[in-house]
Chain A
């Protein structure tokens, strides 16, 4: 409800008569301006404002409430993964429950969480899909204890039986190896083998030949 001309003036409101008299034409316009301002001020103190303010506050705080919004499944993107029907992929992490499927031989039977011991002739296999460019990547570790026995280790990497690279690891600890792999070394859309042969291995307490610890290996872009 607004304040109309016929309503009694609210207590304390500024009336036009409260405004100092003007003495010239310029001040007449001043008076009319002040009258407008005072009417506006009175309007803002009216019961309308008093009722409006709580409504505005309530609306403003409406955003505070927690509403659960539900959404349908969106449009599906093309999959970046290989079909689940394939037993192998192009990359394996030793924490993968299916890691054993990638091992041809030369590894301890079970992973120790996220890693697995490689022996003296470890061989892995991967299904390598066609892709613009690939590189072979592996994360491996030479623990201090075995490195103390072996000293620097040279690893011969064979792809599908062909010698691809020889890498010398002169320090113990975690290492990342990666190298571009031209397609002439690989069979696209087929299973490929990767042999990782250390020139030296340590001997564990139970006589196990310990080459290095593998965390993950495979082909990446």
Chain B
């Protein structure tokens, strides 16, 4: 029954997307892959609207799906046979390739059908999807930066998930691989290079990275499919005469053999078949939708918008086609921008925080995050080719045969090769912002086809490379190549795939942190919030999971917890400004140095004659940057703090306006001791309204560690809305927490899989 629900969820989603694509394209393109991929963009957009309206229910999706399917009248379109075209010849090579394709797609299918165990799929891709379904739409999520990424794929997952849960979502992603491979084959045949098309498709389809990604609830293969579909539609548009003939010819889009049926596929079944030439008015909107959908799928897909607009502008040299493409692209991009702008105060959240300062993601985190993904743990970018193809240290491998990718440069001799390489460069343009191997998937089809064009010029070479690729990419072989932690496919027993055996057992064997999720779900009441330093698979719990790095608020909670748990990181630093007693309206502490430290103040106290001035309600507090948490430096708690949220630079300040005139002679800043790079000076606004420097430096000293700090930290975490802390045995603070439960006031409520769950007081 479960497998039936999964298959229905996936197939219904694919069918709905295909129907919507058919409605959008009309007769402009007859290929299923194009209709499915384009319709996915439309479906994703519609699901976004439903989620925004709070109408996420299986019934709503059922109405939408059946309406779309009925409206496109598939019974009018279905033609038995191969549309009058000849079937491919039954040669030994064709049969061998067919067997290889079937074998690989069989293991992909079983993997996708099995319980979802992928790292990101089981955490945020489906964790957020499940939340949207539970809550019947979007709600403001500021505690998880992944909720701010464009989630075009999650909208499709949501549609499938509503009927078939996790595995249905993974199967929808697998459908994009089918569409991609199918289109690559068609593209080759269309250009009288059927063998090259098949070869390129096989290079992509058999790649270990592509396989494991496509059979999981991810979005990289979907982006590749959208990129390639966009490429094909732009080509079709150019061929239909809408563009500048000269440019199209230069790129190989206006010439070339049309009927060279080397692989047994006729031109008539292809996009841009002769009866449709003459310019379909739906092509430009479709191009715009696809470009926008690429952005909606993944931020790195923004290049699709630039690519589509740039090429249409270049070839048409008219404003109207460009405006149409841009408008439809914007239609799909805008919802994500608006959602973030309204809820996160940053349309491009969680990035570009220096342009759109907000309380939810700090600039220093963004920098650290981006810096890590620029190089992972590699010493140099020169290590990328081996790491991404063979070694698996970038989160998986594309396959050793992709070391031959430079051979594809030989294709530059031909216009089609230049066209492929241009697309590869465009869709690979973002790669160096995240060098994970899966970020090479979007340009991979173009590179693979260019490689195939070169390989097929040498008799037997392409087949040899394909067979080698098939052998080296087979999961047990990949297991021998890559280190244990590298993401790769494993062969899934069919009983697990069709959920005949208890999925719990499968999860526990394949998803290391699943027991922690199961523990949370089992022992905490509904509506609980759990804080953790490890991203547990929250697709399998309905509780709110706060992971330490996933928002500024979570990082704040993490620092509070760690400073208490370490026993040594209490804010014992004291920076003391002393000055002759003054009548002041306000004081301002300026930071004047440049460096890598992040300025932190746990408490700012102002004294007169050795007594702290009372914190009157008339006071007004501010800070630059990150003013949103300045109150935490004035709440009398050493546990809480204000943090600049970015590396120190001149111009940072904290200011206290007394709301009247007060006498003062000393200002003390309490904070951590690990910010030796900061340089502070103190200014005061005198009674006559002029600002003057009160002290040009502070005297540094150490204060006493606080008694009751752990308890205060636990209470503060509770005040932040956290109910439970999940501690893992291998975390540095685990032992401290276990030994000092009484000092924390925390109660252990359960343990599983190396994790202990503590309830806050």
Contacts and interface: CB of A to CB of B under 8 A. Distances in A.
A84 B615 CA distance: 16
A63 B345 contact: yes
Contacts of A66: 357, 624
B27 to A, nearest CB: 6
Interface in B288-339: 318-320, 323-324, 327-328, 337
B620 A131 contact: no
A73 B709 contact: no
Given A44-B323, A96-B703, 7 more contacts: A26-B73, A37-B281, A41-B281, A41-B284, A66-B357, A73-B621, A221-B707
A88 B5 CA distance: 71
Interface string B1-29: 00000000000000000000001101100
Q: Which 3 A-B residue pairings sit nearest by Cβ, starting from the closest?
A: A91-B704, A44-B327, A77-B637
B341 A34 contact: no
A51 to B, nearest CB: 14
Interface residues of B, number: 68
Interface of A: 12-14, 18-20, 26-27, 30, 33-34, 37-38, 40-41, 44-45, 49, 59-60, 63-64, 66, 68-81, 84, 89-93, 95-97, 114, 129, 131-134, 216, 218-221
A167 B347 CA distance: 61
A52 B357 CA distance: 25
A183 B587 CA distance: 44
B211 interface: no
10 contacts: A33-B23, A34-B26, A44-B323, A60-B337, A63-B355, A73-B634, A77-B640, A80-B639, A92-B704, A95-B702
Contacts of B650: none
B707 A20 contact: no
B255 interface: no
B619 interface: yes
Interface stretch (B85-93, B122-130, B625-633): B625-633
Contact of A73 (B76, B617, B624): B617
Contacts of A33: 23, 26
Interface in B605-648: 610-612, 615-617, 619-622, 624, 627-628, 630-632, 634-640
B76 A37 contact: no
Contacts of A92: 704
B700 interface: yes
A136 B26 CA distance: 81
A45 B281 contact: no
Given A30-B26, A64-B355, A71-B631, A49 B327 contact: yes
Nearest to B740: A221
B676 interface: no
A65 B306 CA distance: 27
B67 interface: no
Contacts of B611: 84
A69 B622 contact: yes
Given A27-B27, A68-B622, A77 B635 contact: yes
B704 A18 contact: no
B112 to A, nearest CB: 33
A64 B704 contact: no
A171 to B, nearest CB: 21
B331 to A, nearest CB: 8
Contacts of A75: 635
A60 B341 contact: yes
Contact of B707 (A30, A38, A44, A220): A220
Contact of A81 (B323, B324, B617, B706): B706
Nearest to B570: A220
Nearest to B71: A29
Interface in B19-72: 23-24, 26-27
Nearest to A76: B636
A71 B337 CA distance: 29
Contact of A95 (B278, B320, B701): B701
Contacts of B73: 26
A110 to B, nearest CB: 14
A72 B281 contact: no
B616 A73 contact: yes
Contacts of B703: 93, 96
Nearest to B337: A60
B743 A132 contact: yes
Interface in B703-744: 703-710, 712, 740, 742-743
Most A Cβ at <10 Å: residue of B358, B700, B705: B705
B657 interface: yes
B356 interface: yes
B509 interface: no
A76 B640 CA distance: 11
B346 interface: yes
B417 interface: no
B27 A72 contact: no
Most B Cβ at <10 Å: residue of A30, A60, A80, A96: A80
A131 B622 contact: no
Contact of B627 (A26, A30, A71, A97): A71
Most A Cβ at <10 Å: residue of B76, B284, B323, B740: B323
A91 B570 CA distance: 14
A216 B356 contact: no
Contacts of A77: 635-637, 639-640, 712
B27 A30 contact: yes
A74 B634 contact: yes
Contacts of B408: none
A41 to B, nearest CB: 5
Nearest to A218: B704
A47 to B, nearest CB: 12
A26 B702 CA distance: 82
B289 to A, nearest CB: 10
B242 to A, nearest CB: 12
Nearest to B710: A221
B285 interface: yes
Contacts of B76: 26
A132 B285 contact: no
Contacts of B594: none
Contact of B324 (A45, A60, A216, A218): A45
A9 to B, nearest CB: 12
